């Protein structure tokens, strides 16, 4: 089962890129972020034409998350994090798909720092920490995938000294991510690529992608039942090199079929 996460940076403006990638990569389940579209503008028909069912939690102009599946019915279990009834930002969606619980998220950017946006980011991280603590010990595989807007370590940013004061690299944010992983989650990409500079995001200017001046801010976390089935994880850099594309690249993991344990990769 191939599960991916992709911040599309505007689903309708970059629909051709998304559809091209879906046909090329053939992921089974995809978590999308930054739809930048209200619910009624989600391109359901074009996605279904490729064989994918979809659920989405849209928002006009900003945010928005979705889950796509071509391997079974999407049984939605939650939209929006618990803990704050007045939070109207569309950043979290969760569903059971083919025996796997999928949580798709778009964590706040938090800039400028300090300020209310950074405070909101930390509070959102706290709510995520509390919610995922209740999912980790499920007997079923749980996959948490999305744009976390955090570089966990110096290895995850091309020039750490330039990012110390940024909300994506602030000590408080890195600590929040570390505490989340410390619940027992496996950071799939880092687990299979220890010590490797591997990025998921490159700014549009100054030939950042061509110079590989990137950041690793898109992550996939696995609970123990999912981690035992992990066979591969990587970044699909191909779409980032296409015209009119997102500044992110898709990240994907492959889980072995149920009952098959992980072998050497």
Rounded Cα distance between 204 and 219, Å, is: 20
126 has catalytic annotation: no
Is residue 57 within 8 A of residue 26, CB to CB? The reply is: no
SS3 173: helix
**What is the spatial distance between Cα 42 and Cα 116, in angstroms, rounded to a whole number?**
30
Q: Is the dihedral of CA 183, 188, 190, 194 positive or negative?
A: positive
Q: What are phi and psi of 132, to 5 degrees?
A: -70, -25
Question: How many other C-beta atoms lie within 10 A of the C-beta of residue 241?
Answer: 11
Q: What SS3 state is found at 213? A: coil
DSSP category for residue 215? B
204 carries an active-site annotation = no
From 147, 156, 187, 218, the catalytic residue: 147
Other Cβ atoms closer than 10 A to 3: 29
Give the residue among 204, 114, 188, 112 at the shortest CA–CA distance from 152: 188
- Which is the catalytic residue, given 6, 92, 106, 199? 106
Q: Please list the active-site residues.
A: 106, 147
């Amino acid at each position: 089962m191939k599960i991916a996460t992709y911040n599309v940076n505007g689903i309708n403006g970059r629909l051709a890129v998304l559809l091209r990638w879906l046909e090329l990569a053939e992921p089974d389940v995809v978590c999308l972020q930054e739809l930048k579209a209200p619910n009624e503008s989600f391109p359901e028909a074009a996605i279904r034409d490729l064989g994918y069912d979809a659920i989405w939690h849209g928002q006009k102009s900003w945010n928005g998350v979705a889950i796509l599946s071509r391997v079974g019915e999407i049984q939605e279990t939650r939209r929006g994090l618990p803990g704050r009834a007045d939070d109207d930002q569309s950043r979290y969606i969760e569903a059971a798909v083919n025996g796997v619980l999928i949580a798709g998220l778009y964590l706040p950017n938090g800039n400028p720092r300090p300020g209310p946006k950074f405070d909101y980011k930390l509070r959102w991280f706290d709510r995520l920490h509390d919610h995922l603590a209740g999912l980790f010990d499920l007997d079923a595989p749980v996959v948490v995938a999305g744009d976390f807007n955090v570089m966990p370590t110096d290895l995850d940013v091309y020039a750490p000294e330039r990012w110390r004061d940024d909300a994506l690299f602030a000590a408080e944010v890195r600590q929040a991510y570390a505490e989340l992983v410390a619940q027992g989650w496996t950071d799939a990409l880092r687990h299979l690529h220890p010590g490797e500079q591997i990025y998921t995001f490159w700014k549009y200017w100054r030939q950042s992608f061509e110079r590989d001046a990137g950041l690793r801010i898109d992550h996939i976390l696995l609970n123990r039942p999912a981690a035992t089935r992990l066979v591969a994880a990587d970044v699909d850099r191909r779409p980032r090199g296409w015209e009119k594309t997102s500044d992110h690249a898709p990240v994907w993991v492959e889980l072995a079929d149920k009952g098959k344990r992980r072998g050497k990769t």
